[in-house]
Chains A and B, each alone.
Chain A
Amino acid sequence: MSSLQMPKVDSSILSKKDRIVSDIGRIINPKNVLSHPDELRPFETDGLTAYRQMPLVVVMPETVEEVSNILKYCNNNKVKVVPRGAGTGLSGGSLPLEDCVLMAMGKFNKILEIDYENRCVVTQPCVTNLAITHAVQDKGFYYAPDPSSQIACSIGGNVAENSGGVHSLKYGATTNNLLGIEVVLMDGTITKFGGKAMDSEGYDFLGLMTGSEGLLGVITEVTVKILKSPEIVKAALIGFPTIEDAGNCVAEIIAEGCIPAGMEIMDKALTKATNDYSKAGYPTDAEAMMIVEFDGTEHEVEAYIEKAKQIAEKNNSSSLKVSKSNEERLKFWAGRKAAFPACGVLAPDYMCMDGSIPRGKLAEVLREITRLSKKYDLPVANAFHAGDGNLHPLIMFDANDKNSLKKCEDFGADILKYCVKVGGALTGEHGVGIEKRELMCEAFNDKDIQQQLTIKVALDPNSLLNPGKVYPILRKCAEEGRVHVHGGKTKFPDIPRF
C-alpha cells in the first residue's frame, strides 16, 4: 500500500475497537463479528492483491434487518463501512480500511425464488453468478452476463461493478439483465428498486446503483432476468496476417448486421504463449487470431457463420476453421481461456489492464502499445473482447525489480490514457476501485466528478460507505491502474481470468 493514499484514519475509531465489537455483537450474533487478526487476515485484500490492509473488524450479517442496523450504528458513530461480496474484484473495490467495519455478505448465499413465468430469479447477493445458471439450466434457461470469474464471483458484486463478460456485445452487461434490487442505504433505510416488472416508477435508481462500486448502498437482494438457452452455438477460429486485417474483419462483421455472441482477438505474442502453454493448436503464423461465435437457431447460426467466413476471406484470413461439434467449439475457447495463465509462464509477473476502445481503433491502439512496449522495454501480449471494444493488455515484468515495477505502472497508465484519447474508457468491466481512481481525471473534468460526488453526498452525507474508492483523493493523475500477478499465481488461482 506504499504509494496509495487512502482516507485519513480516524484514530478515535481505532481506540474504540473493543466497544464497536461488543456493540455490533449485540446487533447480530457475536459469532458473526470477527476481530482477531487471524480471523481478519483472509479479508485483507480482494482480487487486486497488490494492495492489502487489515480491517478493524469483520461483520457477517444474516438478514437485511441486521445489515440495516449495523449501517445505522456505523452512521451514527461515524464508522466507515466497506462492503464485500466474494472478494474476486480486480480493481480493489473491497480493499478494507484500517478503521473500517468490513461487511462481508457471505451469509446471503441462497437463491430465493425461481420464477419461470416472469423469467427471472430472485436471489441473495452472495450467490455466485454461475450458480444462477446452474439453478435454471435444467429448464433450458441461463443468466447471460458471464464474467470470466463466474464460478466464484457473487451476483451482488456483479451488480456493484456492472460486470460484463464475453457475451456482453449481444446480451449486455449486468445493468441490462437486472430487474430489481433490495438495497440498504448508509442511514439504514431499506428499499427496493425495480422488481419483477420490466420498468419501475420514478427515477431509475436501479440503474444508478448498478456499477456504483459499493459507494451508494449495500445490496441485499437481486432479481435478474433469465433467458432461454440458444438452440445451437457455433464458433469459427480465424487467423489473420496483420492486426489491421483482423480489425477490419471485426468492423465489417458488425457493419454487415451480424451481431456475434462473442468475438475475441489475441495478438501473436499471446497466441504463441497460449500454444506453448495449453497446446491449443492455434495458427502460430498469424499476427492475429480471432474466435467469433454465433448463437441462435440452426438456420440463423449457419447464415451468420457463412457471412463471417466470406468477410474473413475478403480480409485476407490465413486460416479458418468452423467448429463441427460443441466439443470442438469449447476447445477453441479453452486456449483463449488459458491465455492469462500462459503469460504467467513467460515472465515472473504480469499486470492485466482493462481499457475500452472504439472497435475501429484496435490497430492504432495496438501499434501504440507496441511502441510503448519498446519505450519501456517490457514485453506485452494482448487479448481483446473485439465485439465490444474491451482490451486487456498483459504487461510482463519482474516485481522484485523496483525499476521494472515502476516501468510497468507507467506503461499501464499510458495505455489507459491512450484508450481515453481515442474515444474509449478507462475501464470496460473491472471497475475503477482504487486501481484507476487517480486516472479518473483523464476521462472526466472537475465538474463531472463534482456532480458524481454530489450524488454520493446526497445518499451518504458523511462519506462513510466505501470511501476512498472510485474518485480521486489526490488531485493528480497518478500512474496507477493494473491487476498484478506474481509468479503466475493470482489470489484465486482456480478462478478463470480472461
Chain B
Amino acid sequence: MEEKQNFQTSLDFNKNIFKPSTREEIVEIVKNCYKKSIPLEISGLQSKNKIGRNFQAEKTLDLSNYKGIIDYKPEELYIKVKAGTPISEIEEALKKNNQQLAFEPNDFGYLFSGVSNSGSIGGVVACNFAGSRRFKVGSVRDHLLGFQGINGKGETIKSGGTVVKNVTGYDLCKILSGSFGTLTVLTEISIKVLPKPETSKTLIIKIPHVKKALDYLGQSLSSSTDPSGGVFYPDYFGKNFILNDLTHDGGLTGIRVEGPMNSVDQRINRLAKELALIDNEFSVLDSVQTEIFWNKTKNLEVFKNSKSNLIRVVVPISETLQVIQKLKKDDLNYFIDWGGSLIWMAFEHLNSKILLEIKEITKNHQGYYTLIKIEDDFKASADIFTIDPIKYKISEKIKKSFDPKRIFNPGKMYTGI
C-alpha cells in the first residue's frame, strides 16, 4: 500500500493530457490523481468517446500509446494485449492463423466520422457492444478471459486468466465489461479467440414487412440449422446493399449460416425449406458477399454521414414488434440485428419528451436503451443510459469499491457515478 512518489519518468503533471507507454507511468498518473482528487477522462482511439454523458475532467489519460500484443497462442485460443491496442492490429494478427474475435466488434467510425475506426480493445471491452453473432456466441464480456488494471487508488489488480474454465474468486471481467471506464483503467486484456468458419453464406429474403421478417428470424433462431446472424433492413435501407446476388433493393431479412462448406449448403437449403420460401422470394449470398453484408451491418454503415440521433434498443425478441410499432414516427429509420433483439433507431429529431417515451416503452417491454449519437445541445440534459433506483444504489457502492474518490470518467454513465 506504500505510495511511492516517483517523478523521475517523463511524465509532466502540468500537462492536461497524459500519454503513457508503460504501466508504471499509468500507475503513477492514477496515484497522483487519486491523491489530489483530480478527475481523469480515460481515452483510447477516439472511436466511441462521444458515447456517454458530458462530464468535466481536468486531465485526460490517453492510452493510445499503451499498445501491443503481449502473447498470442492460437492453439490455446487466446490473445493477451495491452489495452490501447487497435482492434485492427489484433484482427490482422488473428487472420494469419485463420482466427477471429467471434463477437464481431462494432466499428463506430463510420457513424461518428464517416471513416472506419474500430477503436482499441480497451474501448471495446469498456463499452461491451457486440455484433451480429451475439445470440450465438455471446457478447464481449463472454470472451474476456482475464485482465490487469489500475483501480482508483492506483493499485494494480487482476482477475481471471488465460484459461477458459476459471471460477477462482469473483468474476471481475464481467463487471468491468460495459463499465465505460468508470471503475478501473484496463491495462492488459486476455481475450478468447475462435477459429474462423471455413465458409459462410447468407440467405436473403425479400421482405418489406417487419412483422413477417421477425417471424422468419424467430423461426431460424429456433432451428437446428444453427444460424450466426439475423438482421432485418426496411425498404429505405435495402438500396444500401449493392451485391452481385442481391436481386432487389427493397426491405430484406438476412440470415447467416457458417461452418464447413457442404454443411453450410445443406443448412441454407434446409432453412429455405423450413421457412417455406418460394424461389423468387430469396437469394443466397456467397462468402465474399456475406462478409461485405455483415461488415456493413456491424459497422452501422447505413447510418454513415447521417445527421440523425442514434439510439440502441435491446428488448426480448417477443417485444420487438410492439416496441417498433409504438415508437414509429415519420422521421424514424431503424434496422434490427441479433435475430430480432437489437434495434438501431435513428431519429432526425429528438427531445426530452420523445426520449422519455422511448424510456417508458423499452422499460415496459423488459428492455433498455442507450443513446449512442445525439445533438450536442440536447446531450447535456439527456439520459444517455437508463437505470432503476435500486440498481443505481448498488452501482454507487460498486463504483466506490473500485474508485473511492470518483476520479475515473466521473458522470460518464450516471450523475454521481
To the question of whether A and B form a pair in one complex, the answer is yes
Which of B74, B151, B166 lies at the interface centre, i.e. has the most chain A CB atoms within 10 A of its CB? B166
Near B by CB (< 8 A), chain A positions 418-475 give: 423-432, 436, 440, 443-444, 447-452, 454-455, 457-459, 470-471
Known: A191-B390, A299-B262, A447-B157. A358 touches B169 (CB 8 A): no
Residues of B within 8 A of A197 (CB): 314-316, 341, 366-368
Interface contact A254-B170, CB-CB below 8 Å? no
Judge if B179 is at the interface, Cβ distance under 8 Å.
yes
Cβ of A204 to closest chain B Cβ, rounded Å: 5
> B294-331 toward A: CB 8 Å interface, digit per residue (1/0)?
00000000000000000000111110000000000000
Judge if B276 is at the interface, Cβ distance under 8 Å.
no
Interface contact B164-A303, CB-CB below 8 Å? no
Cβ of B41 to closest chain A Cβ, rounded Å: 19
Near A by CB (< 8 A), chain B positions 251-292 give: 259-263, 265-267, 270
Judge if B128 is at the interface, Cβ distance under 8 Å.
yes
Cβ of B161 to closest chain A Cβ, rounded Å: 6
Interface contact A459-B195, CB-CB below 8 Å? no
Give the contact stretch, choosing among A206-214, A236-244, A311-319.
A206-214
- Complex Cα gap A365–B416 (Å): 49
Number of cross-chain contacts by CB at 8 Å: 259
Residues of B within 8 A of A356 (CB): 163-166
Judge if B376 is at the interface, Cβ distance under 8 Å.
no
Give the contact stretch, choosing among B4-12, B55-63, B132-140, B228-236.
B132-140
Near B by CB (< 8 A), chain A positions 116-147 give: 116-119, 140-141
Q: How many of B's residues come within 8 Å of A, CB to CB? A: 88
Which of B165, B183, B262, B367 lies at the interface centre, i.e. has the most chain A CB atoms within 10 A of its CB? B165
Judge if B120 is at the interface, Cβ distance under 8 Å.
no
Judge if A492 is at the interface, Cβ distance under 8 Å.
no
- Complex Cα gap A199–B127 (Å): 12
Residues of B within 8 A of A208 (CB): 170-172, 174-175, 398
Residues of A within 8 A of B157 (CB): 447-448, 451
- Complex Cα gap A356–B394 (Å): 32
Q: Which residue of chain A is the closest to B404 with respect to CB atoms?
A: A454
- Complex Cα gap A52–B77 (Å): 41
Judge if B348 is at the interface, Cβ distance under 8 Å.
no
Judge if A76 is at the interface, Cβ distance under 8 Å.
no
> B346-375 toward A: CB 8 Å interface, digit per residue (1/0)?
000000000000000000001110100000
- Complex Cα gap A359–B395 (Å): 37
- Complex Cα gap A175–B367 (Å): 20
Interface contact B267-A297, CB-CB below 8 Å? yes
Near B by CB (< 8 A), chain A positions 382-425 give: 385, 388-390, 423-425
Interface contact A210-B316, CB-CB below 8 Å? no
Q: Which residue of chain A is the closest to B146 with respect to CB atoms?
A: A425
Near A by CB (< 8 A), chain B positions 109-159 give: 128, 134-135, 138-139, 141-142, 151, 155-159
Residues of B within 8 A of A140 (CB): 224
Interface contact B226-A211, CB-CB below 8 Å? no
Judge if A169 is at the interface, Cβ distance under 8 Å.
yes
Cβ of A109 to closest chain B Cβ, rounded Å: 25
- Complex Cα gap A162–B196 (Å): 27
Cβ of B137 to closest chain A Cβ, rounded Å: 9
Q: Assign chain A's interface to a size class.
A: 35 or more
Known: A198-B338, A212-B170, A448-B158. A455 touches B266 (CB 8 A): no
Judge if A176 is at the interface, Cβ distance under 8 Å.
yes
Give the contact stretch, choosing among A77-85, A225-233, A263-271.
A225-233
Judge if B92 is at the interface, Cβ distance under 8 Å.
no
- Complex Cα gap A458–B76 (Å): 36
Q: Apart from A300-B259, A452-B159, list 7 A-B contacts with CB within 8 A.
A: A118-B317, A119-B221, A197-B315, A199-B128, A200-B368, A448-B158, A458-B398
* 9 nearest A-B residue pairs (beta carbon): A207-B174, A257-B195, A300-B263, A428-B165, A196-B316, A299-B263, A303-B260, A201-B368, A458-B397
19 A-B pairs within 8 Å (CB atoms) are namely: A164-B165, A189-B390, A197-B368, A202-B386, A203-B391, A207-B141, A210-B171, A216-B170, A297-B259, A297-B270, A300-B259, A303-B260, A388-B165, A427-B166, A428-B166, A443-B169, A444-B158, A447-B155, A458-B398
Binding site for B on A (CB under 8 A): 115-119, 140-141, 161-162, 164, 168-169, 172-173, 175-176, 185, 189, 191, 193, 195-208, 210-212, 216, 228-231, 251-252, 254-259, 296-300, 303-304, 356-360, 385, 388-390, 423-432, 436, 440, 443-444, 447-452, 454-455, 457-459, 470-471
